[in-house]
Amino acid sequence: MNFFRKIKDSAGKMTDRAQNVVEIGRLNTQIANIEREMGLYYQKMGEVFYEGYRLKDMSEAEKEMLELAKTCDLLVEERDEVRLKIAELKNERLCGTCGKNVAQDAMFCPYCGASLRRAVRLRIAPQAD
């Protein structure tokens, strides 16, 4: 009986891993879509800037660029939340400095050397323990 239980447990773990892989793929597609949308906003900001420059009046361009930049900030936050979900599915965490995935128990980021003593969220200041 113990043999069959081990087989059942192994099959359950494999199913969970397969589901994680599918979910990570879906989340990566979501990130790609967000980054594509950000690129469109960046392009629009450049067009607005150039039009203001050409007209020698940056007042309207500045207002529009600020609104576009605020939208980009929201998209960055959304992308970072998705990246955090991916890290959690991989049983990792994100370095708060460089944003790369690192092991849960790492004390320092192997990519940028930042201290990871506290749990941090990407682009958010470390919270007190």
- Give 4's pLDDT tier (boundaries 50, 70, 90): low
CB atoms within 10 A of CB 106: 14
Tell me how many degrees the CA angle 22-15-21 measures, rounded to the nearest 5: 20
- List the end-to-end C-alpha distance of the chain, in Å, as a whole number: 45
Beta partners for residue 103, in sequence order: 92
Q: Are 61 and 48 in contact (CB under 8 A)?
A: yes
- Give 5's pLDDT tier (boundaries 50, 70, 90): confident
Res 8: pLDDT? 66
Task: Assign domain 2-90 one CATH number from 1.10.287, 1.25.40, 3.30.420, 1.10.3470.
Answer: 1.10.287
DSSP state of 128: P
- Measured in whole angstroms, the distance separating CA 96 from the mean position of its chain's CA atoms is 11
Q: Are 115 and 126 in contact (CB under 8 A)?
A: no
Q: What is the pLDDT of residues 28-80, one digit of tens each?
A: 999 999 999 999 999 999 999 999 999 999 999 999 999 999 999 999 999 99
Task: Please give the Cα distance from 50 to 61 (Å, whole number).
Answer: 9
Q: Which residues of the chain form CATH 1.10.287?
A: 2-90
Q: What is the pLDDT of residues 91-127, one digit of tens each?
A: 999 888 888 899 988 999 999 999 987 554 455 444 4
